[in-house]
Amino acid sequence: MTDYRQAQRRLRDHLAAVGALQDPAWARCHDAVPRHLFIPETIWTDRGDGYYVPVSRSDDPDLWLDACYSDHFLVTQVDDGAPAGPDGTGDVLTSSASMPSMVFGMLHHLDVGDGMRVLEVGTATGYNAALLCCRVGDGNVTTVEIDAGLAADGLANLAAAGFFPQVITGDGADGYPGAAPFDRVIATCSVRDVPYSWVAQTRPGGVIVVPWHTTYAEGGALARLTVSPDGTASGPLVGPAAFMTLRAQRLAPVDVHRDVHDEDQAEDSATKLSPRVAAFEEDAEFAIGLLVNARQYIGRSDPASEEFTLWLLDSASGSWAAADYVPGTDVFEVSQHGPRRLWDEVEAACRWWDGAGRPALTRFGLTVGADGDQAVWLDSPDHVLRHA
């Protein structure tokens, strides 16, 4: 296998060029923590049909090493460790090594200082915990992992690399009161509701960095919240962030066959709002998610085709909608059924977003109240858009 140091230097130069390594202290930790020591022998890649296939280090060590030092996320576990796809393939990715630019971007926003006590939620491979240990010292880092197998692997990786934080197997939604209070909390999983335990276990003036998303789309935003003496936490969304959901807040997989019914009774119409905007325009999708409580699913009859159907589903009310995207057209076919007209709600959300000047997701913010209530705001905590 090729010496990792050359690949590591290339990654460091790339991270510096894209602005992810702004602090010399984190640059030193990047060099002191070889990423490949935290990547398992087998990683998983999407074979193009929605299923994941294993790629082993022993099959192609140089390719594996290049993947370790690429600025890409690497799938390290599928189906909670028990591949559920056909012929040993993976169906749902359940753990990954985050892309390095996201890792160091989040650490930048965490704004860690010497000697600070840090709680990490989501140990996974242990790489992020090792970086934190390098920065603030092993004794100041507590990392929690709900998956016992991942926790054991992360602990072994950390020890092999010479780092010894407190590794706890447990539900990160509960934080870890045994080591509180913390100066900083960082989550490597996404949430719809920030667990109030994280706020309660953070010192006033402390910072929580967590990926946050809506029910509509798991591709959400990175929230940087500052804890106040009154027990609230508030702050801006500082950029896009897509992570797997905290296991305590996972939703069941979308099932179009289960939730779409009575298609012959659906109301058919046409729309000028492109389903591509509603599904793939980052800022529009985020705004829709703030205002429309529904799930979305992209269906393709041909994985290579640009055509797709955007399904909107609300199993609670039995409502669904389908909007067909065909490239090169200006009008798109829509079907809706149920007491909620979900596509109409999406159109209304887009009209609001357009009327508000098409705000980027970084103009929004989040406040977690002392009672656990969440408020999403635009530009200022005084301009609340919704409570959740």
- Residues annotated as catalytic are 98
Angle at 162 between CA 35 and CA 78, to 5 degrees: 45
Residue type, 160: A
Q: For the chain, give percent helix, strand, coil, nearest 5.
A: 35, 30, 35
Residue 383 burial by CB count (10 A; 0-12/13-18/19+): exposed, middle or buried?
exposed
| Bond prior to 181 in cis (omega within 30° of 0) | yes
What would the two tokens of residue 101 be? 């630019």
Q: Is residue 251 within 8 Å of residue 295, measured between CB atoms?
A: yes
Rounded Cα distance, 155 and 138, in Å: 12
Rounded Cα distance, 72 and 19, in Å: 16
H-assigned helices in 18-144: 24-32, 61-68, 100-110, 127-136
Q: How far is CA 289 from CA 40, 216, 296, 372, in A?
A: 35, 5, 10, 20
What would the two tokens of residue 50 be? 């929605």
Rounded Cα distance, 356 and 62, in Å: 50
